[in-house]
Chains A and B, each alone.
Chain A
């Protein structure tokens, strides 16, 4: 177990290192002079030159990569070109908003998808199962920015049920989280459905019924835990991938999270922030996978035996 964990940690570190290198080259491949963006359009040649010296912009790429990694090794992600705020601080102050939004969205879609998946598996082929399939397909196909805008327009602006934008109270999160949840719930409902259908046909379900277990116990005690094993894996990947949807939704609802930070930094060509947010998402992916790995062992005892 310890060996496996250290093995996982080693490869996590390799993944992060690779991401850091890749982001560095990608960002530096973008055309345009960063110094001109920092100094503004009216800056004199001297100022530009000074900025070039300060950020080593005239030196060769490999040397700058060296500086970059030296900084990273010292825990220094650099400062924003635009606001001069330390990158780590910029990310950490926005992290709670994004984390709360993501967590709320996950809770919402799982609370909807799990019962929906279980019940449609139980009543597979009925008209309600088919209706659920149509809704799930719809949920899968809607674009994030469109759904977010529509919810905002109708439920906030027209009906006034929710705050339109910004983040002061918990209610400000409800609509953005619903948008994220609605986009994902269909996929998860089908995922739970297909796993549950398979599980319900297995001999241990028949054995549970033969014992005298109630239908609720058969479905939720004997069935669900087995059906959730593959769902947890996918969820682990999606928690990290959720940042993609978060970027749209945060921007539509003007939530001060990492999504808005990332988009602003791209518009401003704020290189340290771009690299910081990308590195942050890589950390999120790696961490989510580690958590899934641990959860997996807890939920399926057979995994322990396999290693």
Chain B
């Protein structure tokens, strides 16, 4: 049994005429101890998918229209609020994008970490365990940091505190929602390094949400690419990066600047991600796709297994540019 299995998840916002489907038939699987990266541009629905794992997308305004989210075989979407509180921060812990805004400004960081311990490991809800956790995430002189308020720490330190808080319950799954986006580049590298160490040390599974393909290769076992509320490609990280099958993944990889080659200008994908509720007909990527054919605007392609371990939502994944010539 996989640790996490999302089946055909559908989440909508709004009602009546202005319904926006932020996640449309998302399916994912994550084995214990493995790392899956969910990649996509802003607005592709990756954060909504990640938050829904512990049913953290507030409903209303959201509606969980359909699908299942199985955590160790139990459907999160059918859980009572008491069961949800147990898995939130227990089985599944979260680290968010902006550590400065995700820590409560009026409580000392020691108290905030201890709160997590109280909920999930009350027997060790003490300063000694908080200090151990702060050491684990690489905060120097943790004893003197207990009484700090969040605003007294740097962004990198705040994100380490968030990590310590997430690890307090010894979760089996850590969901990191763009954990480095708000940080300086040098700090980003440190946090990614720390995530990799912790994963190895603690053996937990990690679901890393990012729009930065550059960090995916470093960390992930598998990668899933999201576009306009759908998964468009899924496969082992090495293969996806070396030989992307979906035109969107190909475009994403081309837009990652490389340091060792000189380029005149950066490659960008023309256009923007369509807003939920305003998806184009047929393949949702076709207006921006360099390889689009006339029939791409007609039929909506399914996510289908095209090779062992590899899935793509493009009927022309095998189509070569020179096939037409």
A→B interface (CB under 8 Å): 202-204, 206-215, 222, 225-226, 299-302, 305
Q: What distance in Å separates the Cβ of A57 from its nearest Cβ neighbour in chain B?
A: 57
Chain A residues lying within 8 Å of B56, measured Cβ to Cβ, are: 206, 209-210
Chain B residues lying within 8 Å of A208, measured Cβ to Cβ, are: 104
Q: Can you spell out 22 A-B residue pairs with CB atoms less than 8 angstroms apart?
A: A204-B101, A204-B104, A204-B105, A206-B51, A206-B56, A207-B104, A210-B54, A210-B56, A210-B88, A210-B93, A210-B96, A212-B85, A212-B90, A212-B120, A213-B115, A226-B105, A300-B105, A301-B105, A301-B106, A302-B151, A305-B149, A305-B151
A207, A210, A226: the one within 8 Å of B106 (CB): A226
Chain B residues lying within 8 Å of A212, measured Cβ to Cβ, are: 85-90, 116, 119-120, 169
B190 at the interface (CB under 8 A from A): no
Chain A residues lying within 8 Å of B87, measured Cβ to Cβ, are: 212
- What is the bound-complex CA distance between A101 and B90, given in angstroms? 49
B98 at the interface (CB under 8 A from A): yes
- Residue of B90, B104, B105 most packed against chain A (CB within 10 A): B104
Q: What distance in Å separates the Cβ of A204 from its nearest Cβ neighbour in chain B?
A: 4
Is there an interface contact between B149 and A301, defined as CB atoms closer than 8 Å?
A: yes
Q: What distance in Å separates the Cβ of A234 from its nearest Cβ neighbour in chain B?
A: 18
Chain A residues lying within 8 Å of B93, measured Cβ to Cβ, are: 210
Indicate whether A302 sits within 8 Å of B104 (C-beta atoms), given known contacts A203-B98, A212-B119: no
Total cross-chain contacts (CB, 8 A): 70
- What is the bound-complex CA distance between A301 and B81, given in angstroms? 32
Is there an interface contact between A211 and B102, defined as CB atoms closer than 8 Å?
A: no
How many residues of B are in contact with the other chain, CB < 8 A? 31
Question: 10 closest pairs, A vs B, by CB?
Answer: A212-B89, A211-B89, A210-B94, A203-B101, A207-B102, A212-B88, A212-B119, A203-B102, A301-B149, A204-B104
B103 at the interface (CB under 8 A from A): yes
- What is the bound-complex CA distance between A271 and B93, given in angstroms? 69
Is there an interface contact between A214 and B94, defined as CB atoms closer than 8 Å?
A: no
Excluding A203-B101, A212-B85, A305-B149, 16 further A-B contacts by CB distance (< 8 Å) are A202-B101, A203-B98, A206-B56, A206-B96, A207-B103, A207-B162, A210-B88, A210-B93, A210-B96, A211-B119, A212-B88, A212-B90, A213-B119, A215-B81, A301-B106, A302-B105
- What is the bound-complex CA distance between A299 and B105, given in angstroms? 10
A203, A209, A222, A300: the one within 8 Å of B88 (CB): A209
Chain B residues lying within 8 Å of A209, measured Cβ to Cβ, are: 56, 88
B224 at the interface (CB under 8 A from A): no
- What is the bound-complex CA distance between A171 and B169, given in angstroms? 52
Chain A residues lying within 8 Å of B81, measured Cβ to Cβ, are: 215
B218 at the interface (CB under 8 A from A): no
Q: What distance in Å separates the Cβ of B103 from its nearest Cβ neighbour in chain A?
A: 6
- Find the B residue at minimum CB distance from A226: B106
Indicate whether A207 sits within 8 Å of B105 (C-beta atoms), given known contacts A212-B116, A213-B115: no
